[in-house]
Amino acid sequence: MPVGMDFQHSTVTGFVKNPSFQKWVIDPDADTTAFWEGWLYANPDQSAALQEARQLILDLRFGTDYAANQAMIEVWQQIQAQKTAEPVVYRQPFRQRSMFRIAAAVSGLLLIAYAAYHYTRPEPITTISTRYGETKTLSLPDGSVVTLNANSHLSFPATWDTDKPREVWLDGEAYFRVQEKKGTGQAKFSVHAKPVTVVVVGTVFNVKHRKKRSQVVLESGKVNLLVQQTGHREQQVFMKPGELADVGESAPVRVRSVDPASFTSWQSNQLVFRKTTLQEIATQLEETYGYTVTFTDPALPDKRFSGSVPAQQPDLLLMTLSKLYNLNISKQNNQVTISPR
């Protein structure tokens, strides 16, 4: 029998908090499958609550760390209660959209055209920008699709000639689905994020360029990085799917194997962490939401967290970290202070 389940008063929260039910949803085996399928057969009137609980677990991206799951659902309950009583403290201006698919809306894009670009590009230039806590999905003139993360800027020619290369300039973070263009040299698509230029033909990848560092994660296809670092000759780096390349102004290029989902989940409205340090999480909060994060204990930044939360709810992330690591996390305006209890 699943631990802690009151079968006479089954609720959505009761299902979600039950470790056996969590395992059935995220990591089923023969025993849990047999039990829950049999229980549902015997209790068909509970089907709606069970399915709602199952979907909630999927939406919150529970993992096999059941202690973390427990903390997350308790925090979620607190947030739901707060929503009915008072405004959410950490609310951010994310575009509301489905948990199940990426919105393709492009309304409200900021279009800035000007006459020249460094004297070599007389054609008008379009610049798309996002605020803190905001993402945008747009189609480029060739049909390629880009999702722009918060606090980012993407520039590209307003019209693309078939006989010219396709080029965009990125400051921030973006997820690209490049439309393959038949042909030879002009089929290439280039993303300029100094000191690196990402050259592709047709592929799916993520580029982050912040504070003079660039990070490229290849999900599928092929990528050729042209790296021009201060005081070094240009070098080429060829990437394979499932690899991450980290490029600074002068340090050696580092390439390693990763789970691309951990780095691209933001564009599907999720923040996914895999043994991520609190310092890295603080940096992401600063870059994405405009927070300034301060640790009062030098041991805290090295703690690691694995889990997932909806991207439009940084409050859920902060409160989960507070509960898991017994922390005091205070927020005043955009100033976040993290200290041990």
**Residue 7, phi then psi, degrees to nearest 5:** -75, -15
- Res 283: pLDDT: 93
Measuring CA to CA, how many Å separate 70 from each of 15, 62, 66, 78, 122?
A: 12, 9, 6, 13, 58
Q: Maximum distance among all alpha carbons in the chain? A: 75
Spatial distance between the Cα atoms of 98 and 95, rounded to a whole number of angstroms: 10
Measure the CA angle with vertex 66, ends 48 and 86; round to 5°: 65
What's residue 337's pLDDT? Answer: 95
pLDDT in tens, the chain (341 residues): 454 444 444 677 788 888 888 888 877 777 888 888 788 778 878 877 877 877 777 766 666 666 666 766 766 666 666 555 544 343 334 443 433 333 333 223 222 222 233 333 446 888 999 999 999 999 998 889 999 999 999 999 888 877 778 899 999 999 999 988 765 555 789 999 988 999 987 799 999 998 878 999 999 998 899 988 777 778 889 999 999 999 887 778 899 999 898 899 898 888 888 889 999 999 999 999 999 999 999 999 999 998 888 888 888 899 999 999 999 999 888 899 999 98
Q: What is the pTM of this model?
A: 0.63
pLDDT at residue 205 in the model: 94
pLDDT score at 303: 93
Q: What per-residue confidence (pLDDT) applies to 65? A: 67
Q: Which two tokens stand for residue 300?
A: 């805290």
Do residues 152 and 131 touch, judged by C-beta distance below 8 A?
Answer: no
The pLDDT value recorded for residue 80 is 61
Nearest alpha-carbon partner for 22 in 87, 59, 74, 66: 66
Tokens of 222: 């092929």
Q: What does the alpha-carbon distance between residue 334 and residue 87 come to, in Å, rounded to a whole number?
A: 16
- pLDDT for res 91: 38
